[in-house]
Amino acid sequence: MKIKTAEFIVSNSEVDKCPKDQIPEYAFIGRSNVGKSSLINMITNHKNLAKTSGRPGKTQLINHFLINKEWFLVDLPGYGYAKVSKTAKRKFQKFITNYFEKRIQLVSAFVLVDIRHEPQKIDLEFMEYLGVSQVPFSIIFTKADKLKPMAIERNVEAYCKKLLETWEAVPNHFVTSSSKTIGRDEVLQYIQDTNTEIEALR
């Protein structure tokens, strides 16, 4: 898939105010500081589409971007550590669950995980929540440029082994690096193939 256009549409904290268009939607989410904004900018080939920051917890709203006028990329707030008040955190955690449970346009979520770290409890619990809620998702391992190829393979294998303790099968997953543009084509191909399948069913 070639990204021809990527435009910001709306930010809000209420699912009811999300775009009413009946087009496929893909949501990107992960722990704070996992490299989500950088990944979104890399995937869309736009330097500043999503705002990057050295300060974790920068994204605090549901952000919709229309890609190629065909599908929405949704940038969701990170879960876990973020320098926001407890009240603000409770509020955006609530609208995250509202989004996943009410948004009928959602086709799939992408859960971002830092490939350098061993499986984190908060990530595993969030994936379990998606599974119980029957929300399709893929895992995107970020920051692959920080490791050597053998270490990448070893870490992904260890992660998959951990997942198989509770999952019948390992979820679909991608290895990416925003700075090296690794994984971009694979993620976009997956979205394109999924959109083609959806179109065929209409």
**What fold, for 6-196?**
Rossmann fold (3.40.50)
Q: What is the pLDDT of residue 90?
A: 61
- Choice between 82 and 79, residue whose per-residue pLDDT is larger: 79
Q: What is the pLDDT of residue 53?
A: 44
Residue 91 pLDDT greater than 70, yes or no = no
Give residue 87's pLDDT band: very low, low, confident or very high (50, 70, 90). Answer: low
- Choice between 177 and 98, residue whose per-residue pLDDT is larger: 177
Give residue 58's pLDDT band: very low, low, confident or very high (50, 70, 90). Answer: very low
**Residue 148: burial class (beta carbons within 10 Å; 0-12, 13-18, 19+):** exposed
Residue 84 pLDDT greater than 60, yes or no = no
Residue 151 pLDDT greater than 80, yes or no = yes
pTM assigned to the model: 0.91
Answer whether 134's CB lies under 8 Å from 140's CB. Answer: no
Q: What is the mean pLDDT of residues 82-100?
A: 69
Q: Please give the Cα distance from 12 to 86 (Å, whole number).
A: 19
Residues near 32 by beta carbon (within 8 Å), at least 6 away in sequence: 56, 57, 78, 79, 80, 81, 82
Q: What is the pLDDT of residue 60?
A: 73
Q: What is the pLDDT of residue 48?
A: 81
Phi, psi of 117 (to 5 degrees): -105, 150
